[in-house]
Chains A and B, each alone.
Chain A
């Protein structure tokens, strides 16, 4: 695949946006310190609310990065506008790609949330079910991660500047975990590890630090949820524990994927 960036006289114009989320992915971009200066030289970052209030909010964008879920009517309006003015749209972070942590809340009935809300102090929010940005408009590339990997972000920008789209790892975390020679959290520690269901690219960071994979990079192409659940239960782990661990990033937005009998993505 190639990325056709309209290259006029100037540098490619870039926008970076956050919908509802923790801004962690945008922080990761800011954390690219050394490379950031070089980047700022290669592209023109014209719209990035997090870093400046002097933004061009209407110009056409060659590349835009969008973080977060759509959780308000306002989010959706913004997202649609960003899509309309952007040539190459990149979702950054698991919230934008899969729903991430905010989507966990979707399991709680909305009328219950309304009742729990402290009516006296909370002002009215135009909230909706939290769904990934990718659910609403087409994206050209999706960078998973909670937060995104800095390397992967830089590689992506550099690739796009060269006119190519990077091939992101599709292998599960287990591959990176095995080659790092970690003791398996499932086999040796009887824990709920989401490594086999989760896309690698993080270098199996959590299992390499003795912590089970939480699934933060979202699912592999064809996660076998049933087999994982059966396996955990077969090892004597309680249903409560299994569901609690898998729910973190196995949010409803992607829980539909990979359940036996349901093939392919929901878009």
Chain B
């Protein structure tokens, strides 16, 4: 690991230089105060690294919300489709929680049965992190995901009169070497500013989730009336899953196309939908809304912990931002524990 500094006014030039490593995605303002990851090639001034959250996270760069896996023309033999192959991409502006979420997706999609669609895009993804400042919906600090020591190629953090640049991989090193004129050695003063930022940032977290023994608490509260209550309130719209950086469920279906060809299509899915747990014959294993809501929270904080030793929620606050009916993940767990 190597630490450098960059002058803030060189940001645009830096973003332009990134294009040599792939299509550059960065947060851009889509509507007033609403951000979305978009390709900024051609106009790097659109990049808004200061954006706290994009509604849909980086996972769309790896697996599109809907893509064709196989396709055939009318009467033809099915062939592999390159629909999801994005080629080389640079993700600019990943926050620490995103980087932890990326590691979780890697566990899911690369560990036991590597997913070729994910892998092809993952291998060509360059990750450039950016230091953020929490609002009242961030609780990553409670989940140990508020900083990242690895999992990125470069990580930029705004400090007093400069940007600290941490090199986290050989690709990051290549980027630095190819653009030497943009970087300077970091100074002691920079290190001091960075550490100060770190401790004031830690103080800035207002939302906290107590995860002490949470899987056990959940185990004990499987039949708690809170799940029925939530089932009555939840619209089962699936928005929380769509925006969650670690929700990764998908559906695969064979379709006949409008021009009489055929396609095998893979789409994002959510355990909140009744259809999700419906099997042949029409039986649904989670026919009850309360069961489905519970499943989402148990998958994040119980099942995943049992399987991988850590929760699959990184505390990004996206589901809080995007639930139309105001279901709040931290309040849910406080409520279950009996402390809120």
Contacts and interface: CB of A to CB of B under 8 A. Distances in A.
Contact of B236 (A193, A222, A231): A222
Contacts, number: 113
A227 B66 contact: no
A224 B34 contact: no
A167 interface: yes
A133 to B, nearest CB: 23
Interface centre among A178, A193, A260, by most chain B C-beta atoms within 10 angstroms, is A178
A239 interface: no
Contacts of B269: 171
A166 B36 CA distance: 33
Contacts of B243: 178
A204 to B, nearest CB: 11
Interface in B19-54: 30-31, 34, 36, 54
Interface in A199-231: 220-222, 224, 226-228, 230-231
Interface string A220-247: 1110101110110010000000000000
Interface stretch (A58-66, A70-78, A114-122, A156-164): A156-164
A161 B259 CA distance: 12
A179 B237 contact: no
A158 B258 contact: yes
A162 B257 CA distance: 11
Contacts of A188: 31, 34
A45 B16 CA distance: 58
Contact of A38 (B234, B239, B260, B268): B260
Contacts of B242: 174-175, 178-179
A231 B270 CA distance: 21
A187 B324 contact: yes
B232 interface: yes
Contact of B324 (A161, A181, A184, A226): A184
B238 interface: yes
A196 interface: yes
Interface string B222-244: 00000000001111111100110
B273 interface: yes
Contact of B274 (A158, A159, A161, A221): A221
Interface in A17-41: 35, 38
B79 interface: no
A179 B268 contact: yes
Nearest to B275: A170
A158 B256 contact: yes
A161 B268 CA distance: 28
For the complex of A and B, list the 6 residue pairs with the smallest distance between their C-beta atoms, beginning with the closest: A179-B65, A174-B237, A196-B237, A178-B242, A196-B235, A154-B258
25 contacts: A35-B258, A151-B258, A167-B253, A170-B273, A171-B269, A172-B236, A172-B273, A174-B237, A174-B242, A175-B237, A178-B238, A178-B239, A178-B242, A178-B243, A181-B55, A183-B30, A188-B34, A196-B235, A222-B289, A227-B232, A227-B235, A228-B235, A230-B233, A230-B325, A231-B235
